Amino acid sequence: MASAVSENVETWKAKLDKILHEKNFANDTLEKIEQKTGVRRLYIALGLLAFLGLYLMIGYGAQFVCNFVGFLYPAYASIKAIESHTKDDDTKWLTYWVVYALFSLIEFFADIFLFWIPFYWFLKCCFLGYCMAPTAWNGSHTIYNRAIRPIALKYQDRIDTALDKASDAIHEVFGLAKQTAGEYAGGVAEKMATEAAAEAAKRHIVDSSKTD
């Protein structure tokens, strides 16, 4: 049992170390710190993660920090996925954002109960980290495939029908509004033209009486 746990830990450390050697701004910064301190960037990153976890438990503004972590890296990775020519990374981060949106919706309605959960922002940050973990079956893939996908496929036809009806209703409302606006504008223009003609006729009569 202990050997299996140790093996899993070493596997995760190897994966994290590989990620920390990818070329990006954060890793370049870690490389500079590594060169100045002589400490492996893996241990620097683990230290930062430990500090972040402690701050999320007792620090001020933990909610902002948690939401910032859950948004910043996925947003950056999503931009890279958009600019790349492969489809796998697009699917990965689209899946994350679907799960993130669902979790945010649930969190909004359950906000009154979350206050009573100890270290909630730390637990939420761990959950979001699990959802964005660089593994084949991370949290977002697991939740999507086991919970969201079956429900979405089951009710897909009904949802599409409802969306089509809503779209038709919106187009009908906008079309009616456009027609009404056109008729109103035409009526206003006609009224203004009539008033202008009447005013011109009135002036003509006044000028004629002055001439006589």
- What does the alpha-carbon distance between residue 130 and residue 12 come to, in Å, rounded to a whole number? 13
Ranges of the chain with pLDDT below 70? 1-9, 24-26, 175-212
Q: What is the pLDDT of residue 98?
A: 93
- What does the alpha-carbon distance between residue 134 and residue 24 come to, in Å, rounded to a whole number? 16
pLDDT in tens, 151-184: 888 888 888 888 888 877 787 777 666 666 555 5
The answer to whether the beta carbons of residues 56 and 78 sit under 8 Å apart is no
Written as six digits, the tokens of 153 are: 């496929």
* Token pair 């637990």 in the structure block, residue: 123
Closest of 185, 100, 186, 182 to residue 140, by C-alpha? 100
Q: What is the pLDDT of residue 94?
A: 92
What is the chain's mean pLDDT, rounded? Answer: 78
What's the pTM value of the predicted model, to 2 decimals? 0.64
CA 162, chain centre distance (Å):
24
User: Which residues, including other chains, have CB under 8 Å from residue 46's CB and lie 6 or more apart?
Assistant: 16
- What does the alpha-carbon distance between residue 106 and residue 124 come to, in Å, rounded to a whole number? 13
The answer to whether the beta carbons of residues 119 and 56 sit under 8 Å apart is yes
